[in-house]
Each structure stands twice: as C-alpha cells, then as structure tokens.
C-alpha cells in the first residue's frame, strides 16, 4: 500500500463499501432462505415482493449480476406459486 493520503482514503472507502455490500448480500440470502422455508401460501405471497425488492437492489448496485437476479426472482416466484 502506498503512503499517499488519497490512497489511504481509497482503502478506507473500499473497506466500508465491501462491508456494506457483504451485509446486503448476506441479509438477502437469509431472506431468500426464509422465503423458501415457508409452507403457507399467504405468508409466502406476502414476503415475496419484499425479497424481490432486495434482489433488485443488489442487482442495481452491482453486488450480483442482473441475470442472476432474474433467475433468483423467477425461481422464487415459481416456488411460491407451487405451494398448495
């Protein structure tokens, strides 16, 4: 690491961004896991829009790829619709 002030600041900023992105990703993965575990259709249908919103935000920020977001949303929607 260089000893320039700007480089040190860039390292601090990158660390903050990385932690923020990791937290957002982990929170979304937990929400997806919880949604998959639901067995009642009403509860799952209520949670789905919130989880889809989280996935869209991850894709918008570049934390996950837009195609991965589309695949996740598609699979979750199919799962919720298949609950009897």
* CATH for the stretch 5-82: 1.20.58.110
Taking only the tens place, the pLDDT of each residue in 18-29 is 999 999 999 999
Distance, in Å, from the CA atom of 82 to the CA atom of 75, rounded to the nearest integer, reads 11
Residue 1 confidence (pLDDT): 63
Residue found by looking up tokens 């067995």 in the block? 39
Taking only the tens place, the pLDDT of each residue in 45-77 is 999 999 999 999 999 999 999 999 999 999 999
Please compute, for residue 34, the number of CA atoms within 13 A of its CA located in the half-sphere on the CB side.
13
Residue 29 confidence (pLDDT): 97
Residue 57 confidence (pLDDT): 96
Domain boundaries defined on the chain: 5-82
Distance, in Å, from the CA atom of 33 to the CA atom of 38, rounded to the nearest integer, reads 9
């Amino acid at each position: 690491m260089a000893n320039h002030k700007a480089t040190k600041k860039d390292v601090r900023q990158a660390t903050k961004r990385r932690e923020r992105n990791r937290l957002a990703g982990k929170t979304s993965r937990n929400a997806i896991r919880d949604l998959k575990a639901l067995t009642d259709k009403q509860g799952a249908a209520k949670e789905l829009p919130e989880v889809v919103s989280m996935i869209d935000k991850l894709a918008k920020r570049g934390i996950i790829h837009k195609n991965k977001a589309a695949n996740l949303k598609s699979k979750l929607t199919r799962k919720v619709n298949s609950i009897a």
